[in-house]
Structure 1
Amino acid sequence: MAGPPESPFDADTEEERPLLIAVAHGEPDSLVAESHSHAYGQLAGAWRGLLTLGTETGQWVVPAVHAVWIPPHQVHSGRSHGPFDGWCVYIRPSICRDLPDRPVTMRTSGLLREAVLRMAQWKGQPLDDIRLPLAQVILNEIRTLPAESLGLPMPRDPRLLRIANALAEHPEDDRDLHAWASWAGVATRTLSRRFVSETGFTFTAWRQRARLLRSLEMLTENTPVTSVALDLGYDSISAFIALFRRTFGVTPGEYVRNATRVGNKQLF
């Protein structure tokens, strides 16, 4: 999630800024980007590995063949889990007006990924009459990408946020609602009610979601399915596999195989 090339983004006026720039990059080790923002909208995707994006309101997981949309001026941080091959498209702010005004995960298309990789080879060169049609294809594809539910909204109440941060860090913690309420100094009924109003999920559903998103990270790091299920506190391996399949449409083993096949794509 490193920033875009410096020179094309140093323009003083909107008209001087490029319509869009595509960048493809690979990291042999984990990639970490501290909190930052930029004037351009950004769509960040992965060929191989898993990317986690964080903002003040939530976390988004970006597995292979997915991408996360980051609106202009949105403060965000990011990190990959293990080796990572990815790509980014940076879009002029004025072009972002009909795109989401908040971060959202999207399932990408083969057409978009191939077009982005082609454009990345131009190294930020101006969009002439030959290159401009491909840029329009990329923009049209981005506008029609289906949203995916891979986000983990965070509560605003400081007491609930303390609990959410603890569970995001250790989703295997199996303390019940009453124990968490006591730990955070909040009434159980208040915790239950406000978790729904501030995140859209019950406390139990939110914790289950945190565990599933962490399981994607662990699977990407080649952790065996059995270890993932047990380390995250599931009652049985079959229960984890069934919930994973119901949520993501594939089994954990199929997810790993699919990610591996995508990861064999050469970026350059």
Structure 2
Amino acid sequence: MTWASISAPPGVLPPRPITMRVQSIPPRHEFPEHAHDWHQVAYAIDGALMVTAESRSFVISPDQAVWLPSGVSHRVGSLLGAEFRSLWIAVDAGRNLPSAPTVLAVSPLLKELIVEAAAIERSQDSDGYPERVATLILDQLRRAQSLTTGLPWPRGGRLLRLCEALYIDPADARSSSEWAKALGMSSRTLTRQFEAEMGLSLRSWRRKLRLLRAIELLSSGTAVTETAMQLGYGSASAFVFAFRTEMGASPHAYMRKATGAYRASSPIPPKLRRQNSRR
């Protein structure tokens, strides 16, 4: 299936120092390749983003964001749909941040600050609160852990058909030889091409895919048992064991840590806003 193009909301001004964009990305929609005269943080509070930058394509889960320096050509979309939150950041404000596209771990505090920045965008707050939120976001971005990459993603061809099918249905249990036959290629050719383009074996990629989809499903409120079934595990306990092995924590413990003190969809409480205003 083809992808449709979408455009940025009208009337969005250049960042001074941060401009927040809020937009829903429907399934199989993307922002075509483009570049900015400012930095950008691409993030989704719900759903996964597919990002292409500097000849690399990858998918990020809701606990990750992508730092895109000014001038870097990039493309952002979503296979299954996402709630997109894009931060445009002035060049001067992005000092001491990476000079190349970088996947960042999103802490619970950074997530809450992004949600809050979206809630107060275009507000007529005269006490400087939006500027304080922007300063905290920049501080958190500088402290964010840099990750090697998201889930590698093919640029096109038969490998793209394979990866899209497995992303949509991670419970698909067909072996590499069965997939090779379905794609009209030999098992050896599939193995060689996959490892050459993706940098890892199909088996390892499927394991990373399941983990990313697990985080995506859990972040959207899907129960552990339902998540296990959608991912193709024989039982919830098998899924919990696999998740704990990869992440060092159970799904429940991981999500408690990921959401922090507040729900991901909740803004910073008014009480905290009042405290900040008095400082």
- In the superposition, the TM-score normalised over structure 2's length comes to 0.69
Q: Which residue of 2 aligns with 1:77?
A: 77
Q: Which amino acid aligns with 2:76?
A: H
Say whether the 8 Å CA contact 2:7–2:31 is kept in structure 1: no
RMSD between superposed Cα atoms in Å: 4.0
2:20 matches 1:23: yes
Structure 1 stretches of 5 or more lacking a match?
Answer: 10-17
Listed as ranges, the matches of 1:129-144 within 5 Å are 138-144=137-143
Q: Describe the shift of the 1:253–1:186 C-alpha distance in structure 2 as closer, same or farther (beyond 3 A).
A: same
Q: Which residue of 2 aligns with 1:263?
A: 264
Q: Which amino acid aligns with 1:67?
A: A
Aligned-partner Cα distance in 2 for 1:223–1:136: 34
CA shift at 1:225, angstroms? 1.6
Listed as ranges, the matches of 1:47-66 within 5 Å are 49-56=45-52, 57-63=57-63, 66=64
Render the CA deviation track for 1:56-103: whole Å, top value 9, x for unaligned. Answer: 42221123xx43334444111248878x6x754311357668525335
Aligned-partner Cα distance in 1 for 2:118–2:175: 50
**Residues paired across the two proteins, number:** 248
2:88 matches 1:90: yes
Aligned-partner Cα distance in 2 for 1:79–1:70: 20
Listed as ranges, the matches of 1:85-234 within 5 Å are 87-93=85-91, 99-102=98-101, 104-108=103-107, 110=109, 113-114=112-113, 117=116, 121=120, 123=122, 138-148=137-147, 151-156=150-155, 158-234=157-233
Structure 2 stretches of 5 or more lacking a match?
Answer: 1-5, 271-279
Aligned-partner Cα distance in 2 for 1:146–1:157: 30
Aligned-partner Cα distance in 2 for 1:230–1:124: 43
Aligned-partner Cα distance in 2 for 1:134–1:226: 37
Render the CA deviation track for 1:6-26: whole Å, top value 9, x for unaligned. Answer: 2523xxxxxxxx44214386x
Say whether the 8 Å CA contact 1:69–1:103 is kept in structure 2: yes
Aligned-partner Cα distance in 1 for 2:25–2:89: 22
CA shift at 1:241, angstroms? 0.7
SS at match of 1:172: coil
Q: Describe the shift of the 1:198–1:100 C-alpha distance in structure 2 as closer, same or farther (beyond 3 A).
A: farther
CA shift at 1:179, angstroms? 0.4
Identity percentage over the alignment?
30
- In the superposition, the TM-score normalised over structure 1's length comes to 0.71
